[in-house]
Amino acid sequence: MKIQPMALVIAAACAALGGCGGGSSSAPSSPPSSSPTTGGTTASYTVGGSVSGLLNGETVQLLNNNGDALPVSANGSFTFPTALAAGSAYNVTVGTQPAGASCSVSSGSGTISGAVSNVAVTCSPVLMKNIALFLDATTGTLQPYSYDVASGQLSALPAAPKGPGQTANAVLIDASATHAYTLGENSAKATQIWSYTIGAGGVITANGAPLTLSVPSGVSLALDKSGQYLYALGSPSLTGTSIVTYKVNASTGQLGLSGTYAMPSGQPVQLYASPTAEVLYALDPVAATISTFSIATTGNVNPAGNPIATGNDPRAMAMTSDGNYAYVVNATGATVSIYAVAADGTLSDATTPTATVNVPGITTAPGAQPVSIAIDPSNHYLYVGDIGDQLIYQFQIDPTTGALKLLPTPTIASDAVPDRLSIVGDSTTGTVLYATDTASGAVSAWTVNSATGQLSGSKLSSVTVNAGQEIAGTAFGH
């Protein structure tokens, strides 16, 4: 029997099977793909994970590869809407932090080889000074927001406890932005002060039981420059009113009654504290005057000289932070009163022959009704809110005389009726002016150009207000 060579046997077998690979005239076969395929298309997978530590009412914005923005408003799992092809890189980061927390990402980056579900976002509450409180006039409930000094954006914080009051008139925040106080009436018509603690994440809690005042319907609150004493002004009447003094516990923020000063006459409606002297001012729209009170070491107040005249129907007051000048905006006649301030806080006319100065620009507007005023932290610029024409007037302050000069662009329209003006920030972080419409809850915000004082970048926000009610007061921590 003749044995066939092995090469011939192999060749014959290959021919019978339709050929073997490896010949120089045939293309090599492709190795299997490392990525799953579906109908010839590379598979794609989603990226997700879980969020923990997020407070109720807050939102964190997450990004994947600097895009595909995903807002997350509750703890638990999340998934980005856009799937990524197998083999692609993913990188999860925090785009926008929650208003009252700091969030970090772990296991947030890698290469896609299957669905990703282990990205961990952990949030922790932080103490914050950039907090704004809006007081509901009907319930006395605080509406807390954080603010961004770069953009003016307001962001809702966790809801505060429902206010126990029937009406509310005033709110303020202390210098540390850790305590807040409101003034109003409870359901039994008793005048009370409610104290609150502002905790990490902007969470507001009641700070002890409310204090009852022996004055009818309080209208205004003020803290002295040291933050040691809080003052409450009773509702004005033909027989005068009272200023009630409370000692502030430096550790807890709780209040203890210190004394009461009964004003024999006058109908003041607003209290203001000097930023540099132990002095309190009371603005009386009926008498068109400002009364000055010195603050004793006990915190109690005493009259300092006679009341000084303002223009007709004074509505609001502002002082430069160095304590050199004070300004009062008068609704009737559309004027601003300018005062020089002595080291002891007493006022004198900054211009002659009267303290009331017709401010250029305001008096030429036929429907002008200026009611709000604010000064920027640098003391270079002053702003007046006109609710009649819904305008903001922009002025430069002369540092030598306190005189006002309109900016090249004298006015700017306000989407929100500027019932109240508030200004926050500094030259380093940025400065923002807010105008609040107390009836609708609309809030307009502008950034302040530190070199020119010009307002720009109007941003409109909305604060929750009960139907048919209004905002009784605003307070900004900074």
Angle (nearest 5°) at CA 196 between 186 and 461: 90
Alpha carbon distances (Å) from 299 to 27, 143, 194, 293: 97, 30, 20, 11
Length of the chain: 478
Distance CA 419, CA 36 (A): 63
Place of tokens 């011939």: 8
Do you find a cis peptide bond into 161, omega within 30 degrees of 0?
no
Distance CA 350, CA 8 (A): 118
Write the DSSP string, 435-450: EE-TTT-EEEEEEEPT
Instruction: Split the chain (478 residues) into runs of 10 and give each run's mean pLDDT.
Output: 40 39 37 43 93 88 97 96 96 90 95 97 88 89 88 85 80 93 88 92 91 84 95 77 93 93 85 95 94 94 91 94 94 89 86 50 71 96 94 93 91 94 87 93 93 92 70 87
- Cα of 293 vs its chain's centroid, Å: 31
Write the DSSP string, 342-401: -TTS-EEESSSS-SEE--TTTTTSTT--EEEEEE-TTSSEEEEEETTTTEEEEEEEPTTT
Tell me the chain's radius of gyration from C-alpha atoms. Answer: 33
Q: Strands 116-125, 47-52: parallel, antiparallel or unpaired by DSSP?
A: parallel
For position 162, what pLDDT does the model report? 80
User: Hey, what are 469's tokens?
Assistant: 């009610």
Distance CA 194, CA 178 (A): 14
DSSP state of 254: -
For position 217, what pLDDT does the model report? 76
User: What DSSP element (H or E) covers 460?
Assistant: strand 455-462
**Which backbone phi and psi does 114 adopt, to 5 degrees?**
180, 175
For position 149, what pLDDT does the model report? 86
Domains and CATH numbers, the chain: 44-125 (2.60.40), 310-472 (2.130.10.10)
Who's near 58: CB < 8 A, 6+ residues apart?
A: 73, 98, 99, 100, 101, 123, 157, 158, 201
DSSP state of 55: P
Write the DSSP string, 181-222: EEEEEETT--EEEEEEEE-GGG-EEE-SPPEEPSSSS--EEE
User: Hey, what are 284's tokens?
Assistant: 């009386």
For position 19, what pLDDT does the model report? 42
For position 354, what pLDDT does the model report? 42
